[in-house]
Amino acid sequence: MGEEEAASADLERLCQGISPGVAACTYPATVRCTSCQKWFCDAHAEDEQWHACMVSNQ
């Protein structure tokens, strides 16, 4: 994968946060969890309802 393709993939990466009863988040992912390896937007990276790893970190 070339640099241009990698940059394009980063721009297209969306938040992988999952919340029961809520549609998937469509914001760009900027934070990668070192525990579950999933990508999250800034808002959901530390939200325990969207990111289960945050529950175990408290």
Per residue in 24-50, pLDDT (tens digit) is 888 999 999 999 999 999 999 999 888
- For the full predicted model, state whether its pTM sits above 0.85: no
- Residue of higher predicted confidence among 4 and 35: 35
The DSSP secondary structure of 1-58, one letter per residue, reads --HHHHHHHHHH-B-----TTSPPP-SBP-EE-TTT--EE-HHHHT-TTT-THHHHT-
Q: How does residue 18 score in pLDDT terms, banded at 50, 70 and 90? A: confident
Domain segments of the chain as ranges: 3-56
